[in-house]
């Protein structure tokens, strides 16, 4: 259900999505049709109420950085309409 809400919301914003399991994510996010554009982000939708394991977040952020993509952390719908998003970029020079 949560992944469908995220898919519908991002698609409604004009973004294109493909499966992201190869990168440990739920979706790859493109600014246009995938054959013509490179993915901008890895969208990850952790299950609601499961808590967020820091090791999983760091691993995905590092992977995103190594393939030059932002990690888009997708959350459950908050008080506003639709899901919430937090972008995470790994900075190896600060580690």
Q: What are the residue numbers of the active site?
A: 30, 38, 69
CA-to-CA dists, residue 24 to 8, 13, 56, 61, angstroms:
20, 23, 10, 10
Instruction: Tell me how far apart the alpha carbons of residues 59 and 74 are, in angstroms, rounded to a whole number.
Output: 16
Q: 10-19 long-range CB contacts below 8 Å, 24 or more apart?
A: 10/43, 17/43
């Amino acid at each position: 259900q949560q992944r469908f809400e995220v898919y519908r919301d991002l698609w409604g914003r004009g973004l294109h999505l493909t499966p992201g399991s190869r990168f440990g994510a739920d979706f790859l996010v493109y600014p246009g049709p995938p054959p013509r554009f490179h993915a901008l982000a890895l969208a990850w939708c952790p299950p609601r109420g499961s808590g967020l394991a820091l090791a999983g977040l760091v691993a995905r952020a590092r992977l995103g950085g190594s393939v030059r993509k932002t990690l888009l952390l997708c959350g459950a719908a908050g008080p506003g309409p639709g899901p919430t998003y937090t972008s995470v970029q790994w900075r190896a020079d600060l580690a």
